[in-house]
């Protein structure tokens, strides 16, 4: 499946066997998105939350 990146507008390929909660990355800008809904050919994405290193603090 193909979907448009919400950040840069590039075409992203999403594997057919992807599942809700999976993270997909734009090949052009590197933005990460989480699949929030997948119904047949319709996929909804939201920006993935990034967790920074806490270095043991």
Predicted pLDDT at 48? 92
Owning domain of residue 35: 2-47
Q: Considering the domain boundaries, does residue 11 fall inside one?
A: yes
Q: pLDDT, tens digit, for every residue of 24-55?
A: 999 999 999 999 999 887 899 999 987 666 66
Structurally, the chain folds into a number of domains equal to 1
* pLDDT computed for residue 12 by the predictor: 93
**CATH number for position 7:** 2.20.28.160
Kindly indicate the confidence band of residue 16, based on its pLDDT and cuts at 50, 70 and 90. confident
Report if residue 7 sits inside a domain.
Answer: yes
Q: Decide if 16 is inside a domain.
A: yes
pTM as predicted: 0.78
Look at residue 20 in the predicted model and tell me its pLDDT.
Answer: 95
Dist CA 28 CA 3 (whole Å): 13
Say if residue 57 is exposed, middle or buried (CB neighbours under 10 Å; 0-12, 13-18, 19+): exposed
Q: State how far the Cα of 31 lies from the Cα of 50, in Å rounded to an integer.
A: 10
Considering the domain boundaries, does residue 52 fall inside one?
no
User: Does residue 24 belong to any structural domain of this protein?
Assistant: yes
């Amino acid at each position: 499946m193909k979907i448009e990146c919400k950040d840069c507008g590039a075409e992203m390929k999403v594997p057919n066997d992807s599942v809700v909660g999976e993270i997909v990355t734009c090949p052009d800008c590197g933005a990460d998105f989480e699949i929030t809904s997948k119904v047949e050919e319709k996929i909804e994405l939201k920006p993935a939350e990034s967790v920074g290193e806490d270095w043991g603090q």
